[in-house]
């Protein structure tokens, strides 16, 4: 089985890799590009630990083929902060103790950013339904939901000041 | 506040303990840098995969791997014949990792392959021929106990089991005191009910993963996600027939465990493949493998009888508990039988537990193993008696609650405990007086867990710049590094940021028991404080030497060595950093150590209150409000204590409402994925209010009790009591899934 050559953009950087025709984007990110921040919890699109965005669309990277990333722009947890500066969501997750083991955290952060990109002022219910595709077994979601709402408020007040 | 005479602390105003600093491993975890089990790679690494039985019960006549081995890129195949018999203590664990003569459950490992990549390994698995002879199977606990049931083992029962049962009944336990018959005779009302709960999986989001490297010189290294690297070392070294010092195990960051990572599944297989192939081997389980072949908790069948007087005094309680623990002995029924009535101060109590084997995966510990289902049964009966007698469920619990000096139903006498404090706090909470609407109900339940201490070892190095390294040996499963840094900083009198806590591999620190039993903040915290005191003693001696006074004439206050009083002479206090800076001239590096088999963990109690609404059209239950009241002794990092309360409560809600292992007639698991084994998601839940009650534990220098497990004990009953109140039918089977609730409600109407 010959491999496929893929040219794509990941977190703003142009990258190329070879992958098997049936290889998932998740495996390509982790095994070909060394971006292991994106996690596999199920491989069937049920847990959201592998959440990334492809051309701005939130997807489970375990359900996307690596080959499909050709010509696209992929954003992962590794690109959420800017250098040393954390994204407000990352900061609020730390302040609110919104992670215990932390394995679902990258997926939650990517999914939450995707929510706030679309809706800068979500209600608690909107946060809960948007994040319903991301499983967390440690926290009971309470502190995650609070962190997302607080980050949204923080970002709104920053936007108002700038 | 006298916390702890035994540990030498009389009064204490905490500066750092009780605050909420950002956890030291936080940044790595929000940026994707933290390395979990599957994130490790070694040069030249092979990929290992495991072939699993499609049968619930079968003889393995033969395994032919010749076609797989002929496939280019395949480097090794292992089966049971590649392992020596490791002896009684480890035989069951090895057989669970790799089937011997029989496959005992759907998903049981029968062979494994190592190949140059995943796709070759996958193709190789399909080329391994296993000749099975299918055997009759049994997956239900009550069916497995009946004489004539298909037997898994010929002689797994011990002498505790009387004659007349099937060979699947392997242990019997009994606890209690007083005369239950006399107690029931003295009751005004007696309730007797039977309950059933299904197996629930721990559901950690990170599947098991490891990388093994077995060198030709007999030394081996293993990287894995585990709750206990020392346990992995002892188990794997025993199975591989090597000395423990030759195997170094490094625990990765761990993506959840909840008890499910307190044993091994793939680690010995990866080591065996690596030894055979002469290269590092990585194995990562799929989610389906996690469900089919790692331990869920037991399913159970429980009979409970409780007697009560008209004024709410419990006169007697008895319970008979039957837990199936999968294909080998070891279900947590003993803990179930011990904990059933632990929340009550009873004159007459008796519990009997039966450990049963079935054709299911070997159960593994799940957060307070064995206790939630027992509490579900007992707390349901107490709730029913309160309803029948028109009594308030909190008042009745306060009246009967175990308190300081109560003789526990499982034997010991309780020391300082916090059950009544949680009940009294609940009583005054606004949740209890909030109005309920149609189809809504409120449930109350209490829960207990033993807590544990155990073998623990901590080292602490004082850096020459005044910073401190704490080296401990327990994987951090929910913020424990933060708690250790806090306790070290508190004791040393330095800022939290000056301490960094790391988790050692097995070669870098002495033995530590597994991260379980809610032991880490208690036992490792105790050892951290004692290691700090050891370092302080050495630093005081260094200052004394510099000042030319006896070491006893120096005290440690606010992070400084100071002369103990006017007789010690006039000397400027020396800070930790100042002492550390000149350590080389005063005797060399400064380090503190402490090793202990910690007792005094201090038992833990909680009271939970739950409001639900049941949709009469669909049978779906919505949790509207939930409040946890739990005794933490002393909350070191309150945010992570709340997190334990909330997480345990939600796991219990899932167990009560949705989660279950569903077996088909063929004995195969029907729902091995997160789509069909549905754990709670964010949109299912309200905020979970966490109320921390602090009744200091006399067994810890700061009063700490473990908090991790108790939080899953009350919710099964709290939710069931709420659902029963909402739909007017007593629900005795979990999960209370919509079809079950619809059926129960329609039968009530009929």
Contact by Cβ (8 Å): B210, B270: yes
Q: Residue B743: pLDDT band by 50, 70, 90 thresholds?
A: very high
A65 shares a domain with A42: yes
Q: Name the residue facing B478 among A38, A95, A138 (closest C-beta).
A: A138
Q: What is the pLDDT of residues B472-483, one digit of tens each?
A: 999 999 999 999
A50 shares a domain with A10: yes
Q: Is B673 in Cβ contact with A46 (below 8 Å)?
A: yes
Domain finish residue from A79, A106, A128: A79
Indicate if the pLDDT at residue B396 is higher than 50.
yes
Q: Percent of chain B, pLDDT > 90?
A: 97
Indicate if the pLDDT at residue B7 is higher than 90.
no
A138 shares a domain with A92: yes
β-pair type (A73-75, A4-10): parallel
Q: Where in chain B is the domain with CATH 3.30.365.10?
A: 299-451+602-749, 453-598
Q: Residue B4: pLDDT band by 50, 70, 90 thresholds?
A: very low
Least confident of B6-20, B293-307, B448-462, B484-498: B6-20
The CA distance from A12 to the nearest CA of chain B, in Å, is 16
**Local structure of B483: helix, strand or coil:** helix
The CA distance from B33 to the nearest CA of chain A, in Å, is 6
Cis peptide before B735 (omega within 30 of 0): yes
Contact by Cβ (8 Å): B633, B742: no
A55 shares a domain with A21: yes
Side-chain half-sphere exposure of A135, counting CA atoms within 13 A: 28
Q: SS3 string of B644-704?
A: HHHHHHHHHHHHHHCCCCCECCCCCECCCCCCCCCCCCHHHCCCEEEEEECCCCCCCCCCC
The dotted CATH code for B37-135+207-254+261-293 is 3.90.1170.50
What value does the mean pLDDT take over residues B668-672?
98
Residue B3's pLDDT is what? 45
Indicate if the pLDDT at residue B301 is higher than 70.
yes
A12 shares a domain with A66: yes
A123 shares a domain with A66: no
**B346 class by beta-carbon count within 10 Å (0-12 exposed, 13-18 middle, 19+ buried):** buried
A101 shares a domain with A57: no
Contact by Cβ (8 Å): B714, B607: yes
Q: What is the pLDDT of residues B695-706, one digit of tens each?
A: 999 999 999 999
Q: What is the pLDDT of residues B309-335, one digit of tens each?
A: 999 999 999 999 999 999 999 999 999
Q: How many CB pairs under 8 A join A and B?
A: 186
Q: Is A134 in Cβ contact with B680 (below 8 Å)?
A: no
What value does the mean pLDDT take over residues B378-405?
98
Q: What kind of fold does domain B453-598 have according to CATH?
A: Aldehyde Oxidoreductase; domain 4 (3.30.365)
Residue B203's pLDDT is what? 98
Residue B418's pLDDT is what? 97
Q: Is B32 in Cβ contact with A77 (below 8 Å)?
A: yes
Residue B1's pLDDT is what? 38
Q: What is the pLDDT of residues B613-646, one digit of tens each?
A: 999 999 999 999 999 999 999 999 999 999 999 9
Residue A60's pLDDT is what? 98
Residue B11's pLDDT is what? 54
Q: Is B681 in Cβ contact with A133 (below 8 Å)?
A: yes
Q: What is the CATH number of the domain that holds A149?
A: 1.10.150.120
The dotted CATH code for B299-451+602-749 is 3.30.365.10
Q: Where in chain B is the domain with CATH 3.90.1170.50?
A: 37-135+207-254+261-293
Residue in chain B lying closest to A95 (CA): B22
Q: Which candidate in B19, B31, B628 is best for mutational testing of the A interface (most A CBs within 10 A)?
A: B31
A71 shares a domain with A11: yes
Q: Name the residue facing A142 among B20, B681, B688 (closest C-beta).
A: B688
Contact by Cβ (8 Å): B269, B112: yes
The CA distance from B657 to the nearest CA of chain A, in Å, is 15
DSSP H stretches of helix in B113-179: 118-126, 141-145
Q: Which residues, other chains included, contact A73 with Cβ-Cβ below 8 Å and sequence gap of 6+?
A: A8, A9, A54, A55, A56
Residue B509's pLDDT is what? 97
Residues β-bridged to residue B630 = B606, B692
The helix (run of H) or strand (run of E) holding residue B575 is strand B574-575
Q: Is A131 in Cβ contact with B205 (below 8 Å)?
A: no
The helix (run of H) or strand (run of E) holding residue A118 is helix A105-118
Q: Is A139 in Cβ contact with B682 (below 8 Å)?
A: no
A104 shares a domain with A58: no
Q: Is A102 in Cβ contact with B34 (below 8 Å)?
A: yes
Contact by Cβ (8 Å): B478, B490: no
A93 shares a domain with A54: no
Q: Which residues, other chains included, contact B159 with Cβ-Cβ below 8 Å and sequence gap of 6+?
A: none
Closest CA to B713 of B621, B627, B606, B590: B606
Residue B216's pLDDT is what? 86
- Is the CB of residue B289 less than 8 Å away from at least one CB of chain A? no
**Measured distance CA(B445)–CA(B423) in Å, rounded:** 10
What's chain B's average pLDDT? 96
How far is the CA of B461 from the CAs of A136, B421, B498, B561, B581, in angstroms? 36, 40, 12, 17, 13
Q: Name the residue facing B22 among A40, A41, A95 (closest C-beta).
A: A95
Domain finish residue from A25, A50, A79: A79
Q: Is the ipTM of this complex over 0.90?
A: yes
CB atoms within 10 A of CB B660: 23
Q: Which domain holds residue A53?
A: 4-79
Residue B576's pLDDT is what? 98
Q: How many domains does chain A have?
A: 2
Q: What is the pLDDT of residues B545-584, one digit of tens each?
A: 999 999 999 999 999 999 998 888 899 999 999 999 999 9
- Is the CB of residue B496 less than 8 Å away from at least one CB of chain A? no
Q: Is B646 in Cβ contact with A41 (below 8 Å)?
A: no
Q: Which residues, other chains included, contact B638 with Cβ-Cβ below 8 Å and sequence gap of 6+?
A: B18, B20, B692
**Local structure of B302: helix, strand or coil:** strand
Buried b (16+ CB within 10 A) or exposed e, B476-498: bbbbbbbbbbbbbbbbbbbebeb
Domain finish residue from A28, A45, A79: A79
β-pair type (A4-10, B621-631): unpaired
Residue scoring higher pLDDT (A2 or B61): B61
Q: Which residues, other chains included, contact A162 with Cβ-Cβ below 8 Å and sequence gap of 6+?
A: none
What's chain A's average pLDDT? 97
* CA dihedral of residues B705, B707, B709, B710 (deg, nearest 10): 80
**Measured distance CA(B120)–CA(B102) in Å, rounded:** 27
Q: Name the residue facing A129 among B26, B287, B683 (closest C-beta).
A: B683
Least confident of B1-15, B238-252, B304-318, B440-454: B1-15
| CA R_g for chain A | 16
Q: Name the residue facing B205 among A47, A76, A127 (closest C-beta).
A: A47
């Amino acid at each position: 089985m010959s491999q496929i050559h893929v040219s794509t953009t990941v977190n703003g950087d142009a990258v190329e890799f070879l992958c098997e025709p049936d290889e998932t984007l998740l495996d390509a990110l982790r095994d070909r590009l060394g971006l292991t921040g994106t996690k596999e919890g199920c491989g069937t699109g049920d847990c959201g630990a592998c959440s990334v965005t492809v051309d701005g669309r939130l997807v489970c990277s375990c359900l996307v083929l690596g080959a499909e990333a050709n010509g696209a722009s992929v954003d992962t947890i590794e690109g959420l902060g800017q250098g040393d500066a954390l994204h407000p969501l990352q900061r609020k997750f730390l302040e609110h103790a919104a992670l215990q083991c932390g394995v679902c955290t990258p997926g939650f952060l990517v999914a939450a950013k995707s929510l706030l990109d679309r809706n800068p002022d979500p209600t608690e219910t909107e946060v809960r339904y948007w994040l319903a595709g991301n499983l967390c077994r440690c926290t009971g979601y309470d502190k995650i939901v609070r962190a997302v709402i607080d980050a949204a408020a923080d970002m709104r007040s920053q936007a108002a000041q700038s | 506040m006298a916390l702890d005479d035994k540990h030498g602390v009389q009064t204490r105003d905490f500066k750092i303990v009780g605050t909420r600093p950002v956890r030291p491993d936080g940044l790595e975890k929000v940026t994707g840098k933290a390395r979990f089990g599957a994130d490790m790679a070694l040069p030249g690494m092979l990929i290992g995969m495991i072939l699993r039985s499609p049968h619930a019960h079968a003889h393995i006549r033969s395994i032919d791997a010749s076609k797989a081995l002929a496939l280019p890129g395949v480097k090794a195949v292992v089966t049971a014949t590649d392992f020596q018999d490791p002896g009684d203590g480890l035989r069951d664990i090895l057989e669970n990792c790799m089937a011997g003569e029989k496959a005992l459950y759907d998903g049981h490992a029968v062979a494994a392959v190592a190949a140059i990549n995943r796709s070759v390994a996958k193709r190789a698995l399909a080329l391994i021929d296993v000749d099975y002879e299918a055997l009759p199977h049994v997956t239900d606990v009550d069916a497995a106990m009946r004489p004539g049931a298909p037997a898994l083992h010929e002689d797994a029962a011990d002498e505790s089991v009387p004659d007349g049962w099937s060979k699947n009944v392997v242990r019997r336990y009994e606890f209690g005191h007083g005369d239950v018959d006399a107690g029931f005779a003295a009751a005004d009302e007696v309730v007797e009910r039977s309950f059933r709960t299904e197996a629930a999986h721990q559901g950690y989001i990170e599947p098991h993963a490891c990388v093994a490297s077995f060198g030709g010189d007999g030394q081996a290294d293993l990287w894995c996600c585990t709750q206990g690297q020392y346990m992995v070392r002892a188990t794997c070294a025993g199975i591989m027939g090597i000395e423990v010092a030759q195997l170094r195990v490094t625990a990765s960051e761990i993506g959840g465990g909840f008890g499910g990572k307190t044993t091994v599944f793939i680690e010995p297989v990866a080591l065996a493949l690596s030894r055979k192939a002469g290269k590092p081997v990585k194995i990562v389980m799929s989610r389906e493998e996690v469900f089919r072949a790692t331990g869920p908790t037991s399913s159970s069948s429980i009979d409970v009888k409780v007697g009560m007087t008209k004024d709410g005094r419990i006169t007697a309680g008895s319970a008979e508990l039957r837990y199936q623990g999968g294909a080998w002995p070891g279900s947590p029924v003993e803990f179930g039988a011990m904990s059933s009535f632990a929340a009550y101060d009873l004159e007459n109590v008796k519990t009997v537990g039966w450990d049963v084997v079935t054709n299911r995966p070997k159960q593994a510990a799940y957060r307070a193993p064995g206790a939630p289902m027992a509490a579900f049964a007992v707390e349901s009966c107490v709730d029913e008696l309160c309803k029948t007698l028109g009594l308030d469920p909190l008042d009745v619990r306060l009246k009967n609650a175990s308190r300081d000096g109560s003789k526990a139903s499982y034997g010991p006498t309780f020391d300082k405990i916090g059950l009544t404090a949680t009940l009294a706090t609940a009583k005054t909470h606004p949740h209890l007086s909030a109005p309920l609407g149609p189809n809504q109900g409120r449930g109350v339940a209490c829960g207990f867990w033993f807590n544990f201490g155990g073998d623990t070892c901590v080292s602490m190095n004082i850096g020459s710049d005044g910073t401190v390294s704490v080296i401990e040996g327990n994987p951090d499963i929910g913020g424990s590094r933060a708690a250790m840094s806090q306790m070290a900083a508190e004791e040393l009198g330095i800022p939290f940021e000056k301490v960094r806590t790391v988790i050692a591999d097995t070669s870098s620190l002495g033995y530590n028991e597994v991260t379980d039993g809610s032991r880490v903040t208690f036992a490792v915290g105790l050892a951290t404080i004692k290691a700090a005191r050891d370092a302080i003693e050495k630093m005081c001696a260094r200052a004394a030497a510099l000042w030319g006074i006896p070491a006893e004439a120096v005290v440690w206050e606010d992070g400084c060595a100071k002369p103990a009083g006017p007789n010690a002479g006039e000397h400027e206090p020396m800070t930790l950093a100042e002492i550390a800076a000149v350590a080389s001239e005063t005797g060399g590096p400064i380090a503190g150590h402490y090793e202990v088999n910690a007792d005094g963990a201090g038992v833990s109690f909680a009271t939970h209150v739950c409001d639900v609404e049941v949709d009469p059209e669909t049978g779906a239950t919505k949790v509207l409000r939930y409040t946890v009241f739990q005794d933490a002794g002393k909350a070191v990092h309150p945010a992570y204590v709340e997190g334990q309360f909330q997480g345990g409560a939600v796991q219990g809600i899932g167990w009560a409402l949705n989660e279950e292992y569903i077996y088909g007639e063929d004995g195969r698991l029907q729902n091995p994925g997160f789509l069909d084994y549905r754990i709670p998601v964010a949109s299912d839940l309200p905020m979970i209010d966490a109320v921390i009650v602090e009744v200091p534990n006399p067994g810890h220098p700061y009063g700490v009790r473990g908090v991790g497990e108790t939080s899953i004990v009350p919710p099964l009953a709290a939710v069931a009591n709420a659902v029963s109140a909402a739909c007017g039918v007593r629900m005795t089977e979990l999960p209370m899934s919509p079809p079950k609730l619809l059926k129960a409600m329609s039968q009530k109407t009929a």
